[in-house]
Structure 1
Amino acid sequence: MAYSIIEFQGKSIRVHDLDLSVACFLLMEKGRSTGSALLIGLFDVWSDSIMFDGPGCIDLHLDAGLVKAEVLQELKSLIDTTMQDLNMISDIYPKDKLNLILAKAKIRLENDYRIDLICGVLDEFRRLVNQ
């Protein structure tokens, strides 16, 4: 699988597409379950990009989606909460649970997913959006 470049305010990270997709869909799942209404529009953009933009072309549109300080703060908080939740799980995230979350994107995992890969993306993502 390819790597995409995620940009925000002149900074960027290079992330493996599948790791990024898993991390984003976990953020979206957590955000929806906690009622992060400020992020719903951004989540829709993420879903569309992951599903339709193709390998190496995922664009999370962070500059456009994180213009308002409260939206940026909500995303930072969501990343932190999601990482805390993941750190309480063992070394792997069960593929059956992830496949339910990833079904909308038509991504189907054959194996359980390493938590360190997901947390690595979330950590890079958090550093990217820090100001």
Structure 2
Amino acid sequence: MGHSYLDFDGRTILLHDSLIEAIVKLMSNEFIVHRQDYDPRSIMTKQFREWLSNIEHSGVGCIDLQLDACLSDGRVLEQNLKLLDAVEKTVKNFGDMIPLSFLRTAVGPGYGRGIESRIVLRALSKFRALLLKGGESP
């Protein structure tokens, strides 16, 4: 897989496609399990449907989550940050490595081995910074 640029509020970050996929799927799983804790649910349900479809149908290096459109509502942005916090906690609970069994269940069968937690935590940090501050200057 390649790398894709994620844009929000005039700023950009670059992340590996597999990490974008992992973050979105982990956020989506957290949302599904704890849906009652998040509002507005209908908007977020649509957001994850669109993000997952985009990931599935995008070519290498072409993932575009349309963050400006999806996160224009401050409540939705706040809830996505809450989801990122929950995903970060899940990843940290694994210690140094996220096990292959978890990745295959939560993210998909494309993994051949576990992944170091620090790699996912670094990607989560970049994504959170993009949402909070607008990320890095282009």
User: Above 0.5 in TM-score?
Assistant: yes
Counterpart residue type for residue 120 of structure 1: R
Cα distance in 1 between the residues matched to 2:34 and 2:70: 19
User: Higher mean Cα deviation, 41-50 or 31-40?
Assistant: 31-40
AA in 2 matched with 1:121: A
CA displacement at 1:77 relative to structure 2: 1.0
Q: Which residue of 2 aligns with 1:33?
A: 33
Residue 44 (structure 1) aligned with residue 49 (structure 2): yes
**TM-score normalised to structure 1 length:** 0.91
Measured in 1, the distance between the counterparts of 2:119 and 2:72 equals 28
Q: Distance in 2 between matches of 1:128 and 1:13?
A: 7
| Deviation by residue 1:24-48 (Cα, 9 ceiling, x = unmatched) | 1111111111103242111111101
> Which residue number in structure 2 is paired with residue 102 of structure 1?
107
- Partner of 2:107, secondary structure, is helix
Structure 1 segments of 4 or more deviating over 2 A?
A: none
Aligned positions, number: 128
Unmatched segments (≥5 aa) in structure 2: 134-138
* Residue 96 (structure 2) aligned to one of 86, 91, 96: 91
Shift, 1:112, TM fit: 0.7
Give 1:96 shift. Answer: 1.6
Q: Which residue in the other structure is 1:24 paired with?
A: 24
Amino acid at match of 1:126: R
Instruction: Report SS of the residue matched to 1:78.
Output: helix
Provide the secondary structure at the position in 1 that maps to 2:95. coil
- CA separation in 1, counterparts of 2:110 and 2:34? 25
Post-superposition Cα deviations, 1:37-95, rounded to whole Å, max 9, x if no partner, equal 24211111110111111110001111110111110100011111211221121111111
TM-score normalised by the chain length of structure 2: 0.86
Identity %: 25
Q: Is the 8 A contact 1:31 1:78 kept in 2?
A: yes
Structure 1 unpaired stretches of 5+: none
Aligned to 1:126: 128
